[in-house]
Amino acid sequence: SLLLASQKEKKEKKEKKSKRDDKVRKKKPQTDESEQSEEESSSPKLKKAKTGGKQNGHVGEESPENARLSAASEMTEEQKEGAFSNFPISKGTIQLLQARGVTYLFPVQVKTFQPVYSGKDVIAQAQTGTGKTFSFAIPLIEKLQVDSEERRRGRPPKVLVLAPTRELANQVAKDFKDITRKLTVACFYGGTPYNGQSNGIDILVGTPGRIKDHLQNGKLDLTKVKHVVLDEVDQMLDMGFAEQVEDILRVAYKKDSEDNPQTLLFSATCPNWVYDVAKKYMKSKYEQVDLIGRRTQKAATTVEHLAIECHWSQRAAVIGDVIQVYSGSHGRTIVFCETKKDANELALNASIKQDCQSLHGDIPQKQREITLKGFRNGAFKVLVATNVAARGLDIPEVDLVVQSSPPKDVESYIHRSGRTGRAGRTGICICFYQRKEESQLRYVELKSGITFKRVGVPTATDIIKASSKDAIRCLDSVPLTAIEYFKESAQLLIEEKGPVNALAAALAHISGATSIEQRSLLNSDVGFVTMVLRCSEEINNISYIWRKLREQLGDDVDRKVNRMCFIKGRMGVCFDIPAADQKDIEERWEDSKQCSLCVANELPEGGRGGRGGGGGKNRSFSGSRNGRQGGSGRSRSRNRGQKRSYDKAFDR
């Protein structure tokens, strides 16, 4: 009987357990769904996507969660690392950042956020165009916005940002204003009225000269400053600014005190002397963020660096052709000149067909602001500037940067070239140089870690293609209502010239390419065509080339061939001929198994002008001809008395 009772008890327990399991199975889908929903709403972290089931043999529609996870899986590592959810950034700030087109933090912003937010002193170095302004703006704004202290009327600033130029100060202030609605941002720089701080200031941006003036006049209180930012610190602490900066900071800093304001130094280039001077204002322990480090390339990696050899007398005309081919009428271009005079003259030169304005220190501040605004908004496409536009300015979608000559220092080249290729976009920087400036070009290559691609001036074919492309784009903007008025005239023109010739003439006139000058690819001289003679075997002696040329073109070829030089691997030569002789030479020459001759469409690799010998007047013999070495003393001495001043570079 005891055995039967035990078996009965076990059976009852099994039945109860089975009923409980059935209830759990019925409730489980609903429970899982609610748990999943709860997890989704409470945690921003990404979860692995689940494969959707099939309905009637077809895959069901992708759920919003799966779509979100799918998009997340396609994010790059940089985007994942810079996701807003990884940082203590308020919802309001995120919305304002997204309105600016910022969807995640860039690497320099990721690396500096926590040190800046936690109050550490920071020295940060990163390439141009990587978002250094937001690196300090975002964490400082978040830090100030969570501060519970009442923002009373007339309060002095807690953040001081010093910038070397008015334009950069104005832009930094705008960046702050764009991502905060709670804080008051003021910008003080020369040429603008002083509005005072009667209503209170949270963030003050300014140039050293203007800030110092207000301090001396008793109009500004910096005793409550908690955060100091020196933007473009290498220029800020240069000899021209060091004294002014020290006078300003002396007000907010106490000698050897750990209670001094948080100090943040940002720049694309930080020479050793910058660290030495900066330590005077920084705490003993500071954070160093270096996104360049020992990398050989200091310039932006998104920029292609080209170099064109061109005499100063031809430079203005060639710059016009370069802008037409590399940027066109619809792209933005910045041309950097060494002097204000050069900038003014080039901006007025007829060689640049696009609307163009100049920007430099002699232009009144109000006009400078109008000019920059017009360039940003696309009112004109070419800005000719001195270094005033080289640092920090974030002008969107600059397609081309032209440097009219190699800059005197590498830092200038890095900052100038950094005006293009910003925020992940690609860009082109073209540096003009003369033969005597080639050593400066090599120095820039050595110190910045870049390699210039030597290219020739745009050919007539390049200019025509670019001009045609621009003209066709212009046709797309003509409204249909306007077309109706011209149909009758168009029909008459077609009957007179034929449809192709009529349209070709119209495109040529629209593009302004009605007359195009031939130019040498070797040194940009007008009226010359560069030709390439390619050989089937390596050439040991230049006299072989002269013999081949004479066999087909006669002895008078001596006076026609200029600037002969070897191409890569000595598999031929390139040289210039007068454009007037091109047709005659092409008609007389016949290719053979050993040699072929053609017009060069681009500068041949290794072809650098005047390196392999030449004949006739205006030529230097650096190679041998008929077994001879040497050259004409007359041609070598011709340039000795030539004026070396760059003032005439853009003579019209």
List, for residues 147-169, the tens digit of each pLDDT value. 756 678 888 999 999 998 888 89
- For residue 562, the tally of other CB atoms under 10 A from its CB is 23
C-alpha 112/C-alpha 288 separation (Å) is 9
Structure tokens that stand for 228 in this block: 């100091």
Q: Does domain 84-290 have CATH number 3.90.320.10?
A: no
- Give the confidence band of 533 by pLDDT, cuts at 50, 70, 90: very high
Higher confidence at residue 342 or residue 44?
Answer: 342
Average pLDDT score over residue span 101-106: 92
C-alpha 188/C-alpha 276 separation (Å) is 28
Domain with CATH 3.30.70.2280 in the chain: 528-637
Q: What is the CATH number of domain 528-637?
A: 3.30.70.2280
| The residue count for the chain | 652
Structure tokens that stand for 288 in this block: 């160093």
Architecture per CATH, 303-458: 3-Layer(aba) Sandwich (3.40)
Q: DSSP states of 594-633 as a string?
A: SEEEEE-SSPPTT--SSSS---STT----S-BTTB----H
Phi, psi dihedrals of residue 415, rounded to the nearest 5°: -70, -40
Strand order across the 303-309 sheet: 356-359, 382-385, 332-336, 398-403, 427-433, 303-309, 453-454
Task: List CB contacts of 57: < 8 A, sequence separation 6 or more.
Answer: none
CA 69 to chain centre: 33
List, for residues 344-381, the tens digit of each pLDDT value. 999 998 888 888 999 988 888 788 889 988 998 889 99
pLDDT of residue 423: 63
List, for residues 450-491, the tens digit of each pLDDT value. 899 998 888 888 888 888 887 887 787 788 888 888 888 999
Strand partners, 54: 59
- Give the confidence band of 180 by pLDDT, cuts at 50, 70, 90: very high
pLDDT of 130 higher than 50: yes
Give which of 148, 232, 155, 144 is closest to 201, Cα–Cα. Answer: 155
Structure tokens that stand for 105 in this block: 């933090």
C-alpha 513/C-alpha 1 separation (Å) is 115
**Exposed e or buried b for every residue in 109-147, given b needs 16+ CB within 10 A?**
bbbbbebbbeebbbbbbbbbbbbbbbbbbbbbbbbbeee
Task: List CB contacts of 363: < 8 A, sequence separation 6 or more.
Answer: 371
Higher confidence at residue 32 or residue 425?
Answer: 425
Domain with CATH 3.40.50.300 in the chain: 84-290, 303-458
List, for residues 537-591, the tens digit of each pLDDT value. 888 888 899 999 999 998 888 889 988 989 888 899 999 999 999 999 999 999 9
pLDDT of 324 higher than 80: yes
Strand partners, 227: 159, 262
- For residue 439, the tally of other CB atoms under 10 A from its CB is 10
- Give the confidence band of 513 by pLDDT, cuts at 50, 70, 90: low
Asked if 188 and 170 touch (Cβ cutoff 8 Å), the reply is no
Q: What is the mean pLDDT of the chain?
A: 78
Count of CA atoms in the C-beta half-sphere (13 A) of 643: 7
First to last CA, the chain: 124
- Give the confidence band of 38 by pLDDT, cuts at 50, 70, 90: very low
Asked if 392 and 163 touch (Cβ cutoff 8 Å), the reply is yes
- 62-69 long-range contacts (CB < 8 A, ≥24 apart) are 65/40
List, for residues 196-224, the tens digit of each pLDDT value. 666 789 999 999 888 988 888 888 888 88
Average pLDDT score over residue span 48-69: 45
C-alpha 133/C-alpha 442 separation (Å) is 31
Poorest-pLDDT segment among 183-192, 338-347, 384-393: 384-393
Q: Does the global pTM surpass 0.75?
A: no
pLDDT of residue 65: 53
List, for residues 61-81, the tens digit of each pLDDT value. 445 555 554 555 577 888 899
Asked if 160 and 204 touch (Cβ cutoff 8 Å), the reply is yes
- Coil, strand or helix: which one is 46? coil
pLDDT of residue 94: 95
C-alpha 58/C-alpha 240 separation (Å) is 72
Task: List CB contacts of 549: < 8 A, sequence separation 6 or more.
Answer: 533, 557, 561
State which of 5-19, 31-45, 85-99, 558-572 shows the largest mean pLDDT. Answer: 85-99
